């Protein structure tokens, strides 16, 4: 950090102009938009069921895996998905997209002949 000494003149650096984002929705409050943006940036959560399945099947997620999974959820959320199948590292995750919550997870050996229903999107990461 630069310190200004007595007698020095400080010239502030020009800042880029911030253009207001036009609202496509009428009647939407700033608070609701801010709350949604904050929610969108929260990390992905895991249901108790998903945690049990991960532990039972010995599936471990690194920080990088969590980031990739969260990124995949954000991508399908931007497309308007509600329930998504995300395939990553030979593991299938069923995710409630609006809640950003993993509902269940299974590894390749547990997938077998499973049929995935009630999903509206799939992502291969």
Looking at residue 43, its pLDDT comes to 77
Looking at residue 11, its pLDDT comes to 52
Angstrom distance (rounded) from CA 97 to CA 83: 6
For the entire predicted model, the pTM comes to 0.66
On whether the CB atoms of residues 98 and 83 are closer than 8 A, the answer is: no
Mean pLDDT by 10 residues, the chain (125 residues): 50 60 64 64 84 92 91 93 94 94 90 85 92
Angstrom distance (rounded) from CA 107 to CA 91: 4
Report CA Rg, the chain.
22
Angstrom distance (rounded) from CA 60 to CA 43: 17
Looking at residue 1, its pLDDT comes to 46
Domain boundaries, the chain: 44-124
- 80-117: b (≥16 Cβ within 10 Å) or e: ebebbbbebeebbbbbbbeebebbbbbeeeeeeeeeee
- Tokens standing for residue 51: 């945690």
């Amino acid at each position: 950090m630069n310190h200004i000494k007595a007698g020095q003149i400080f010239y502030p650096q020009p800042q880029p102009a911030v253009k207001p984002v036009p609202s496509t929705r009428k009647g939407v409050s700033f608070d609701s938009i801010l709350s949604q943006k904050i929610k969108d940036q929260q990390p992905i959560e895991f249901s108790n069921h998903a945690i049990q399945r991960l532990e039972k099947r010995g599936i471990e997620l690194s920080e990088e895996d969590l980031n990739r999974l969260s990124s995949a959820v954000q991508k399908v959320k931007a497309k308007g998905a509600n329930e998504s199948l995300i395939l990553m590292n030979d593991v299938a995750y069923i995710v409630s997209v609006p809640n950003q919550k993993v509902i269940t997870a299974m590894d390749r050996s547990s997938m077998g002949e499973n049929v995935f229903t009630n999903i509206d999107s799939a992502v291969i990461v």
